[in-house]
């Protein structure tokens, strides 16, 4: 994987790239760097995979003020410009799914096929369990393996909840490049008030909505809502999968996504 930095509106943004072929643009979740995609990207060896660390996460600079979702979508378009990519398939996970929806709406010509994984439409969504939502307000899980072990089952569900070895792996991946507390707070605040509910019918891309039925953070009602309101969307509900389904079970999930976007 190669890394480069671009400058965008006063932010220093880390852009990661791996492989060759048709581009595949990955948008990570809150607090996460592009490195978090590695277990998933192994299943796409024939694609040119591009991702970035949003301001406040990974190797990118920490913003002084919150960067709204719509602005991060504009940054995503700038990342594609920096790579010379006119159009790409896009996979957005969780918070990254919000950015991917906004990118598809604001820059429809830049997006080929769209995958929305474990995500929702912001305001207008059915929120997750109160305990899980409260746990998301702190980045402590990125720093403390003890805390991660304590909250992982209730926060993420799925294989992370059932498999101690997978929890240990997930915990270690977060500790390798954690966000600062301030950067994480800026990302949280940047999402406040955002909603795609009104413009979902205007997303005309062929879309795959993927969710697990054991996700404490994003109940499956949200995936159904996205699939119903996006005109060309299909829905894939993965049994016993949790919020981290792309990392918990890439061997199970990646082939479904690969068939949708194409392997090469």
- As given in the structure block, the two tokens for residue 89 are 């398939």
What is the C-alpha to C-alpha distance for residues 249 and 241, in angstroms, rounded to an integer? 8
3-state SS track over 68-113? CHHHHHHHHHHHHHHCCCCCEEEEEECHHHHHHHHHHHHCHHHEEE
Alpha helices in the chain, H assignment, sequence order: 38-41, 69-82, 95-106, 130-135, 145-156, 158-162, 164-176, 181-191, 220-229, 245-248, 250-261
Verify whether residue 94 is a known catalytic residue: yes
Residue indicated by tokens 């809502």 = 225
Backbone torsions φ then ψ of 156, nearest 5 degrees: -110, -30
Cβ neighbours of residue 130 under 8 Å, at least 6 residues apart?
Answer: none
Q: Phi and psi of 258, rounded to 5°?
A: -60, -40
Question: For residue 212, what is the enclosing H or E element?
Answer: strand 207-212
Question: Given 71, 94, 171, 196, which residue is catalytic?
Answer: 94
Task: Give the count of beta carbons closer than 10 Å to the beta carbon of residue 264.
Answer: 10
How far apart (Å, rounded) are the C-alpha atoms in residues 125 and 89? Answer: 25
For the annotated catalytic residues, the residue numbers are 94
């Amino acid at each position: 994987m190669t890394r480069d930095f671009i400058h965008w509106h006063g932010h220093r943004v880390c852009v990661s790239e791996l492989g060759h072929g048709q581009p595949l643009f990955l948008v990570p979740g809150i607090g996460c760097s592009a490195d978090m995609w590695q277990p998933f990207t192994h299943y796409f060896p024939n694609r040119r995979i591009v991702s970035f660390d949003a301001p406040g996460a990974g190797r990118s600079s920490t913003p002084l003020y919150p960067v709204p979702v719509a602005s991060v979508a504009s940054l995503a378009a700038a990342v594609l410009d920096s790579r010379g990519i006119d159009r790409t398939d896009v996979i957005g996970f969780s918070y990254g799914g919000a950015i991917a929806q906004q990118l598809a709406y604001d820059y429809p010509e830049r997006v080929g096929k769209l995958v929305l994984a474990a995500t929702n439409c912001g305001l207008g969504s059915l929120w997750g369990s109160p305990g899980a939502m409260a746990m998301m307000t702190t980045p402590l899980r990125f720093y403390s393996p003890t805390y991660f072990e304590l909250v992982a089952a209730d926060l993420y569900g799925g294989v992370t909840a059932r498999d101690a070895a997978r929890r240990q792996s997930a915990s270690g991946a977060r500790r390798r490049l954690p966000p600062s507390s301030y950067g994480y707070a800026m990302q949280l605040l940047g999402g406040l008030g955002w909603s795609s509910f009104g413009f979902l019918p205007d997303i005309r891309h062929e879309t795959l909505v993927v969710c697990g039925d054991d996700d404490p953070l994003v109940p499956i009602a949200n995936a159904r809502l996205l699939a119903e309101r996006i005109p060309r969307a299909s829905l894939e509900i993965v049994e016993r999968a949790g919020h981290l389904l792309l990392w918990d079970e890439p061997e199970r999930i990646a082939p479904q996504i690969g068939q949708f976007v194409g392997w090469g």
